[in-house]
Amino acid sequence: MTCERAIHTSGVYFWAMANIDKHPAGSFCWVELATTDQNAAKTFYTSLFGWAVEDSPMGPDDFYSMFKLSGRNTGAAYTMRKEQRAQGVPPNWMLYIAVENADQSVAKAAQAGGTIHAPAFDVMDVGRMAVLQDPTGAVFSLWQPKSHSGIGITGDNTFCWADLSTPNPERATKFYGDLFGWQLAKDEKDPSGYIHIKNGEDFIGGIPPAKHRNPNAPPHWLIYFQVADAEAATAKAAQLGGKVLMPARKMENVGTWSIVADPQGAVFALFKSAR
């Protein structure tokens, strides 16, 4: 199989097990952990998800850790730079979105009201990227693939979804719709006000109502990892030194999910589909 699929049936979102060889433009294609303790992070995530790790040197005492499952890429980790720490950036999972042309997308983002933190630049021969911030404050990256297309597998213990936490869903909806051509809309049958994000034919994420967000948290993208058992995975994350920020909770016909932070503080969600 050549692409990821979010399957939507009667309000249920789940991810079929499949290999991914190419990500359509506008899809979430990569997740990357910036951490203060790379070795400790590797121990945590390999223990939690059963991932393998492949380290690649990036310089003296510096390496890039590629996470893998069944020989396919699931994400990566690197040690935060001194300048990032000096700016007060906390450990975090960065979300990448696939584009056909990074330079053109950067220009389009600027026109749509986004802030450019890092203009498009080449990452050796693997791709071209940029780091942006939407008008409401959430940071994300663009990825124009060359030899590296991104996440290579779906299913349990892999990325499956992303929610945008923002105080201004309406402004965010316009920005991302203009930039990526996403369809962002509420489900008339869903009284919560949750905005679904659809890229082409695929549901890929959403924007929860602003009234439910922590007003003290900066706007951000929250990534989800699919697991076989959300309660068990949440308990395991805590046993491994993580912090449970929201205990596992169930939503009828959707699934069970929790929000946790790894031992260094990077936040992510765990999800088990009801289907």
Residues 6+ apart with CB under 8 A from 82: none
Which of 12, 114, 20 has the alpha carbon at shortest distance from 74?
A: 20
Contact 52, 69 (CB under 8 A): yes
Helices (H), the chain: 38-49, 82-86, 102-111, 169-180, 230-239
pLDDT at 15: 56
What 209-214 contacts at long range (C-beta under 8 Å, 24+ apart), as own/partner pairs, is 209/169, 210/166, 210/167, 210/168, 210/169, 213/165, 213/166, 213/167, 214/165
CATH 3.10.180.10 for domain 1-275 = yes
Tokens of residue 140, six digits: 């994300």
pLDDT at 10: 32
Edge-to-edge strand order for the sheet containing 62-69? 52-59, 62-69, 72-79, 28-35, 92-98, 139-145, 127-133, 115-123
The pLDDT tens digits along the chain (275 residues) read 223 334 343 344 455 678 998 999 999 999 999 999 999 999 999 999 999 999 998 877 889 999 999 999 999 999 998 888 888 889 999 999 999 999 999 999 999 999 999 999 999 999 999 999 999 999 999 999 999 999 999 999 999 999 999 999 999 999 999 999 999 999 888 888 999 999 999 999 999 999 989 889 999 999 999 999 999 999 999 999 999 999 999 988 889 999 999 999 999 999 999 87
Tokens of residue 215, six digits: 């007003």
pLDDT at 3: 30
pLDDT at 46: 98
pLDDT at 190: 81
Query: What is the sign of the dihedral through the CA atoms of 115, 81, 158 and 274?
Result: negative
Angle between helix 230-239 and 38-49 (nearest 10) = 150
For residue 201, the tally of other CB atoms under 10 A from its CB is: 10
Contact 264, 84 (CB under 8 A): no
